[in-house]
Amino acid sequence: MTNLATPCHKRLELSHTTFYTACVLSQVYGKFGKKLVSVVKQGGPDPSANSALNDLLKQAKDLGVPRDIIDRNLKKASEAKQADFSEVGLGNWLL
């Protein structure tokens, strides 16, 4: 009979929890990055002039999105060759 409360089992359980958390956070950061690029393309990179960007930055602060991710996506959105992300629904119709 094996004891499931061994230190090895606890490490395995901790690693699964850590990987799950990292997976969820990467999905949140990726979606936030796409929204950020879209908002900057529509209204410009200045939060004082772009109210949607200002609201999105407040949401990012509440979610705890790292500052380097915000800066990287702002820089990416400011590039001229960056494609615009738009929501596409069923049959490739824009929503």
CATH classification at residue 60: 1.10.10.200
Structure tokens at 54: 């200002």
Please tell me whether the overall predicted TM-score, pTM, comes out greater than 0.85 for this model. Answer: no
- Asked whether residue 70 is domain-assigned, the answer is yes
Report if residue 94 sits inside a domain: no
Residues 6+ apart with CB under 8 A from 55: none
Q: What's the structural domain count of the chain?
A: 1
Q: Is residue 85 part of a domain?
A: no
Answer for the pair 52, 42: CB distance below 8 angstroms, yes or no: yes
Whole-number pLDDT of residue 23: 83
Range of the domain at 69: 33-78
> What is the DSSP code string of 36-49?
HHHHHHHH-S-TTT
Q: What is the pLDDT of residues 22-57, one digit of tens each?
A: 888 888 898 998 899 889 888 888 888 999 999 999
| CB distance 77 to 40 below 8 Å | yes
- Residue 90 is classified by DSSP as G
Identify whether 27 is part of a domain: no
Q: Does any domain span residue 10?
A: no
